[in-house]
Chains A and B, each alone.
Chain A
Amino acid sequence: MRGSSIVAESADLLYERAFEAHWGDVFRFSLAWTNDWAAAEDMVQDAYLRLWGTRERIDWEQPVLPWLLVTTRRLATDRFRSLKRRFVPSGSETGALDESVRVRWLDVRAAMSVLSPLERTALVLTALEGVSYDEAAQTLGTSAGALRAAVSRARQKLEAA
């Protein structure tokens, strides 16, 4: 249900605000999931395109970040479907990573590759993004218990690697 104050604001404007406010959060979620910089950028774009498509229907009084993260997760698991991928120019100047960052990314990517997507994402959400176990479990479509187990397993794997 939309409140009148929300209705007064353009859905387009709210979309832009969500883009500015949460792009980084969604990117890091995607990066944790995919362990792939380029794929993460693609996934963020896909998630925002979905948000654009539903901006008139979404309840903007609710936090939009959980919606974006769940959408991103579902997009990631929608495999074997999006066989034709589209590249929409973003007007970005991000370009390739700085070489020093690139090397660091390759190292940390290799370290994180011992984890499954669930383990990586669970760990990043709870350890770095300040998300509670319950919230992380909801985002990842799993139980809090399973989420805790995944985090524990992830730490063990990283220690042992």
Chain B
Amino acid sequence: MDRSRADDVLSEWSTVAKTARRPFSSPKPRMTRTMLPAGLLAGATLVVAIVFVIGFGSRSNQPVASGSSSPSPSATASATASASPTASVVGPLASPSATASQRVGTPAGVAASVPNCDIADLYDTSPPVISGGDMFIECALPDSGAEVVARVNLTTNEVVKTYPNNYPINVLRGFAVAGGALWIRNDNGSGCSLPCTGFTHLLRVDLVSGNVTRDLVDTILEGVGSGYVLAGDIKSGHDLKLDPATGDSKGEVSSTLAGAQEVCGSLWNRDQNSDGTTTTFKRLDPSSGKVLASFTEQSMVDEPQQVDGQCWAVARTTGIGADGFLHTSYRFIRITPSGIDFRGPILPDGSQAALFNGTLWRLTPGAADPMSSNPDPLTTMQRIDPATAQPVGPIWTYTGYAPAFVADGSLWASEAGNPPEALDRLNVPLGAIGS
């Protein structure tokens, strides 16, 4: 019997895949920031941006630990410098996921669609960047799976330029926009183990021409801040400040401050341990890098956001449920300069917590698993009132995957399909509750 082309491809795939060699030792968690070069932190852009010299003066933005808007006392934990473990959240909760009534709601309108942009199938993505009135976003092209950065005009919602990621091999691992250029971390996709010499490239791509004007080998994009592109030198382990116009190094960043974020009016280092169980917050003195406060939450905590003058974040805990499958439970937490002073109720199984532009949301899948075979995944969205930690207002429904980010005042989500072929801009209000 003649072999088909599909069989040939599979046979070759199998042969090549089996050349992979297992590491000598199994991975074990370790706290990496102090043990590894800070430059090895990967290249997320906005969120990981080092902003240590961006204004810290707004003390009015400090999170408020108490007040009339505090959630109900029954759910409130006392502030502590070393946060106590949260309640057990491993496994599925008693509450059913996404009941029929929850599926009924107000359809969210789609204001616009960006075609040929699949964000659901990207493995490792950067959040979008808004620059010059345009949105830069990493997309997989649905036809080929190739990863590109697309430039979307936010007035017309049209893709005005795509920057192919074809150098040296198509593995895009984050980008930023600075100095009239797109900065792309691009890995050689042939695989490596530390120190991965010659593996990682940081490319400066001219926004107008799309030409690569600088190729920095063994350099990891860390973010943009204080007028510099911030990058990690893999070989030295140092964090560098690069001139965004040229890519030339203009000095180093203190390792203490590298990776710090200014959020909620303070400068923080937020370390999630490698086994996904704890997050340690360290509040830093921006001038000296001295640790002013430190506390650990027994969950994975995403980037905090300021919400009505307070500082909130999504906390996730993952564990094996009674069904033997891995489950992630979500809750909102409130952060003060010295600890966690409030942990909201765990959302029902099947729901996710999300923060968009300082608003709290409960999302129910449809989109939790973009590999779902359901051709019409249905997502529901409902605001959570930070004053009560309870759902409030209309339940919005959207035939597509869960909103992935907020940009230009709108929620954006992948439309239905496998792979999704477009990115939708949703008409869902993000203003004050009830507005």
Contact = CB atoms under 8 A, between A and B. Distances in A.
Contacts of A77: 368-371
A88 B10 contact: no
Interface residues of B, number: 86
Interface in A82-131: 82-98, 101-102, 104-109, 111-118, 123-124, 127-128
Interface stretch (B153-161, B269-277, B391-399): B269-277
Contact of B275 (A53, A95, A154): A53
Contacts of B125: 79-80
Contacts of A147: 373
Interface residues of chain A: helix, strand, loop or mixed (majority)? helix
Contacts of A114: 143-145
| Chain A interface residue number, banded | 35 or more
B24 A92 contact: yes
Interface string A42-68: 110100111011100111001000010
Given A20-B22, A95-B192, A116 B418 contact: yes
A111 B36 CA distance: 37
Contacts of B59: none
Interface in B4-62: 4-6, 9-10, 12-30, 32, 36, 40-42, 44, 47-48
A71 B124 contact: no
Contacts of A113: 144-146
B191 interface: yes
B326 interface: yes
Contacts of A59: 324
A107 B12 contact: yes
A67 B194 CA distance: 27
B9 A111 contact: yes
Interface residues of chain B: helix, strand, loop or mixed (majority)? loop
A88 B187 contact: no
Given A79-B120, A104-B12, A159-B6, A90 B24 contact: yes
A132 B306 CA distance: 49
A79 B27 contact: no
Contacts of B40: 86-87
Given A53-B275, A141-B369, A92 B5 contact: no
B297 to A, nearest CB: 15
Contact of A53 (B4, B122, B169, B277): B277
A79 B7 CA distance: 32
Given A52-B27, A94-B193, A104-B16, A34 B10 contact: no
A94 B20 CA distance: 8
A36 B189 contact: yes
Contacts of B122: 79
B68 interface: no
B104 interface: no
B190 A37 contact: yes
B121 interface: yes
A53 B29 contact: yes
B72 interface: no
Interface string B141-155: 001111000000000
A38 B192 contact: yes
B27 A85 contact: no
26 contacts: A27-B20, A33-B123, A43-B123, A49-B275, A52-B28, A57-B319, A57-B320, A62-B324, A71-B326, A80-B125, A80-B127, A80-B405, A83-B44, A86-B272, A88-B29, A92-B25, A95-B192, A95-B193, A96-B191, A96-B198, A102-B190, A107-B12, A113-B144, A115-B145, A128-B14, A155-B6
Given A38-B190, A42-B124, A89-B36, 12 more contacts: A36-B189, A37-B189, A37-B191, A38-B187, A38-B191, A50-B318, A73-B371, A96-B188, A101-B16, A104-B15, A108-B12, A149-B373
Which 4 A-B residue pairs are closest in the complex by CB-CB distance? A146-B373, A92-B23, A53-B275, A90-B23
